[in-house]
Amino acid sequence: MKKFLVITLFPEMFTGVLNASMMWKAQKDGVVDFQLLNLRDFGLGPRRQVDDKPFGGGAGMLLMIEPLTMAIERAKQILPGAKVLLMSPSETIWNQSMATEFANSQDNYIIVCGRYEGFDARVEALVDQKISIGRYVLTGGELPAMSIIDSVVRLLPGVLGGGEEATEIESYSDGDDIEYPQYTRPEVFRGQRVPEVLLSGNHALIAKWRQEHKTK
Ligand code: SAH
């Protein structure tokens, strides 16, 4: 079973996404397990402070190193040997081949979500990999964490219907190719017809058409 543990200030953001559709089914089938640690529980003092102003000045607040360290240490006790991933707008950009690699590996993952202006850079000493989901800035690491989790979990054996084929011939599974267009009933909708060849039952011709209609 693949296990994910997410460290976040907003655990409630995950409940909808991780408990719907395929993510819900994957948990129910025992393919994956999700846990959430609230960074607030590791905050300092009576106000459970987790952020502070950056040394040297500048706008915004940074997640402090102490709560982050305590949360990551706790996560490592729960999931010994798990890889620690830090959501970060810079660095390696997530892609389909990384999702495949993560799905195929035996590793479990601890995902650390930043907030505000980010985190005290010393957290990097506790991290195996910094991952970005694209060259744009979000308000927190929660959406990146959910994107990574979703793209990995759907590749785990048994999660999608249709066997392995569903993930073998889709977009990005072969370099940058994008899946061919697909159609379902009705055959004609407001004058738009489904390509005749797809209704022909001729598998060789269908395969040829699909090959020709992939986007490179
Ligand atoms: N001040 C930072 C941005 C912080 S955004 C900067 O200029 O680089 C707050 C947090 O959101 C980050 O610490 C990170 O955890 C997350 N985040 C924002 N955009 C992201 C992206 N594209 N990929 C992954 N994580 C992202």
Are residues 24 and 102 both part of a single domain? Answer: yes
* Pocket test residue of 88, 92, 116 for ligand 1, highest count of atoms within 8 A of CB: 88
* φ and ψ at residue 7, rounded to 5 degrees: -100, 120
CA of 78 to the centre of ligand 1 (A): 26
* φ and ψ at residue 36, rounded to 5 degrees: -125, 135
Whether 88 lines ligand 1, by a CB cut-off of 6 Å, is: yes
Whether 143 lines ligand 1, by a CB cut-off of 6 Å, is: no
**Which residues is 38 bridged to in the sheet?**
8
64 within domain boundaries: yes
Domain count, the chain: 2
Are residues 187 and 97 both part of a single domain? Answer: no
Question: Which atom of ligand 1 lies closest to the CA of 118?
Answer: 13
Alpha helices by DSSP H, 49-191: 65-78, 96-104, 142-153, 165-168
Residue 130: both structure tokens together: 């910094």
Q: Read off the amino acid at residue 187.
A: E
Q: Which domain holds residue 51?
A: 2-153
Residue 136, CA distances (Å) to 7, 58, 126, 144 in order: 21, 20, 25, 11
Question: Which atom of ligand 1 lies closest to the CA of 144?
Answer: 24
Are residues 70 and 105 both part of a single domain? Answer: yes
Whether 41 lines ligand 1, by a CB cut-off of 6 Å, is: no
* Pocket test residue of 87, 98, 112 for ligand 1, highest count of atoms within 8 A of CB: 87
Q: pLDDT tens string for the chain (216 positions)?
A: 999 999 999 999 999 999 999 999 999 999 999 999 999 999 999 999 999 999 999 999 999 999 999 999 999 999 999 999 999 998 799 999 999 999 999 999 999 999 999 999 999 999 999 999 999 999 999 999 999 999 999 999 999 876 656 677 778 877 788 889 999 999 999 999 999 999 999 999 999 999 999 987
Pairing of strands 192-193, 51-52: unpaired
58 within domain boundaries: yes
Q: What is the pTM of this model?
A: 0.94
CATH number of the domain that 188 lies in? 1.10.1270.20
Are residues 22 and 128 both part of a single domain? Answer: yes
Q: Ligand 1: which residue has its CA nearest to atom 1?
A: 117
Whether 133 lines ligand 1, by a CB cut-off of 6 Å, is: yes
82 within domain boundaries: yes
Are residues 64 and 148 both part of a single domain? Answer: yes
Are residues 135 and 47 both part of a single domain? Answer: yes
Pairing of strands 109-112, 2-8: parallel
